[in-house]
Amino acid sequence: MTQFFEPAERLKQIPPYLFKEIDAKKAEVKARGVDIIDLGVGDPDLPTPAFIVEKMQAAVADPGTHRYPAYSGMKGFREAVARWYQKRFGVELDPETEVITLIGSKEGIAHLPLGINNPEDINLMTSPGYPVYQMGSLFAGAYSHMVPLLRENAFLPDFHDIDPLTARDAKAFFFNYPNNPTAAVADKEFFTRMVDFCREYQIIAVHDAAYTELAYDGYNPPSFLEVPGAREVGIEFHSLSKTYNMTGWRLGMAVGNKDVLAALGKIKSNIDSGAFDAIQLAGIAALDSDQSCVRENCAILQERRDILVGGLKKLGYDVEFPRATFYVWLAVPPGMTSMGFTTHLLEKAGIVTIPGMGLGAPGEGYVRLALTVPKERMQEALTRLEKVG
Ligand SMILES: *Cc1c(COP(=O)(O)O)cnc(C)c1O
């Protein structure tokens, strides 16, 4: 039967879904009764800390939270974001103009191109990467130019490798450190080079900082806004999702350049009506807390990381201990593709991973594992890997 309507052209431009085969195989393996260990999902298995849940419970019972929220976010939440940026990064923000509340950072990332791009614009973005940079650009009619993240460059973009003609035409540059999926980190020296590059070519720098709080061995990932000139050329997206295990709550923020934020805010005020005030009140409690819940969370993730990566190394795999994020970027054995290795792990060991090429062509040669299962399951995964060889 033919469909009674033709979906919009832009939907036809969405790249083909590459995980169909893997989804089918996963269902087939599951149907065989195999106990699947899912290292594929980038979604914390641990609950939101109790004090945040309790704050929400009280806030939701207060009729004062039941009306339309303010478009750019509750003043109290924007002030809490400014306090947190000051305490965590030493970055001063004006909560009136340099902070905006988001319904999760994905929402802001997806909507930003509607506020900054004209059809046929070019946006630069690192690859492999979070697919939303590309999808948001596509929906705004802009082209995506992928900047490869390669191991020989420590998974940082090589600015010399970007064609100056492309750079001259580019409107924005999406980048993300600590990085999903490579787990690479960036220092302030790199951020300074990004500011220089964006200033030279008049490009809006768009940093996705979702993972700055998930770091190990005492490492403190910087904010892009810590470097001089950053807020003149760009903005930073952040989120409570990974920091406080709040992915389901939908709460994030964008900070930095006020003109870019105003453009995003204008789009948002015509599309959504802001994040639920009760959620923002819970967010204030999270940001204003002593952050011991974050340290406890990282300690759990670090133990899992040590078990998984230590075990993989012992088995001879080519892999590094990530300094941040809850991802492990594992090089596939020589002679295999990322898709082939993913299928192998699923069929032979009941382990789900994400093939690197599914997150962008330069991700070929790697699979992404997530530290989002308990340590006992990590051990079990290693035992199975040892058996299948
Ligand atoms: C998880 C994630 C986000 C955050 O998404 P929210 O919409 O805030 O839940 C943003 N960027 C990257 C790279 C992520 O992995």
Please tell me what DSSP assigns to residue 220: -
Q: Cite the residue boundaries of each domain of the chain with CATH code 3.40.640.10.
A: 50-287
Contacts of 297 (CB under 8 A, 6+ apart): 44, 46, 214, 245
pLDDT of residue 172: 98
Query: Quick one: CA torsion of 348, 351, 353, 355, rounded to 10 degrees?
Result: 0
Contacts of 332 (CB under 8 A, 6+ apart): 338, 340, 341, 356, 365, 366, 367
Specify which residues 148 forms β-bridges with. 127
Residue 185 contacts residue 153 (beta carbons within 8 Å): no
Handedness of CA 276, 277, 278, 283 (dihedral sign): positive
Q: Cite the residue boundaries of each domain of the chain with CATH code 3.90.1150.10.
A: 16-42+292-388
Pairing relationship of beta strands 234-239 and 351-352 according to DSSP bridges: unpaired
CATH number of 16-42+292-388: 3.90.1150.10
Position in ligand 1 atom list of the atom nearest CA 176: 13
CA 239 to ligand 1 centroid distance, Å: 7
Ligand 1 lined by 212 (C-beta under 6 Å): no
Mutate to test the pocket of ligand 1, among 126, 208, 214, 224 (most ligand atoms within 8 A of CB): 208
383: left (phi over 0), alpha (psi -120 to 50) or beta: alpha
- Give the number of C-alpha atoms closer than 13 A to the C-alpha of residue 179, restricted to the C-beta side: 26
pLDDT of residue 1: 58
Ligand 1 lined by 65 (C-beta under 6 Å): no
Position in ligand 1 atom list of the atom nearest CA 250: 9
Ligand 1 lined by 180 (C-beta under 6 Å): yes
Q: Which of 353, 350, 321 is nearest to 336 (CA)?
A: 353
| Entry pTM | 0.97
pLDDT of residue 7: 93
CA 203 to ligand 1 centroid distance, Å: 23
Please give the C-alpha separations between residue 348 and each of 229, 305, 351, 379, 385, in angstroms, as whole numbers.
51, 23, 8, 16, 9
Ligand 1 lined by 368 (C-beta under 6 Å): no
Helix (H, G, I), strand (E, B) or coil at 259: helix
Q: Which of 364, 330, 368, 366 is nearest to 352 (CA)?
A: 368
pLDDT of residue 62: 98
Among protein residues, the one whose CA lies closest to atom 3 of ligand 1:
210
pLDDT of residue 41: 87
Pairing relationship of beta strands 354-355 and 366-370 according to DSSP bridges: antiparallel
Among protein residues, the one whose CA lies closest to atom 15 of ligand 1:
180
Please tell me what DSSP assigns to residue 283: H
Q: Which parts of the chain register pLDDT below 70?
A: 1
Integer Cα distance of 129 and 136 in angstroms: 13
pLDDT of residue 243: 98
Position in ligand 1 atom list of the atom nearest CA 241: 9
Integer Cα distance of 198 and 167 in angstroms: 9
Query: Quick one: CA torsion of 327, 248, 174, 328, rounded to 10 degrees?
Result: 0
CA 115 to ligand 1 centroid distance, Å: 20
- In single-letter form, the type of residue at position 338 comes to S
Integer Cα distance of 272 and 267 in angstroms: 9
What the block records as the tokens of 108 is: 């802001």
Ligand 1 lined by 106 (C-beta under 6 Å): yes
pLDDT of residue 324: 98
Among protein residues, the one whose CA lies closest to atom 2 of ligand 1:
210
CA 105 to ligand 1 centroid distance, Å: 6
Fold type of domain 50-287: Aspartate Aminotransferase; domain 2 (3.40.640)
Per-residue pLDDT reduced to its tens digit, 226-256: 999 999 999 999 999 999 999 999 999 999 9
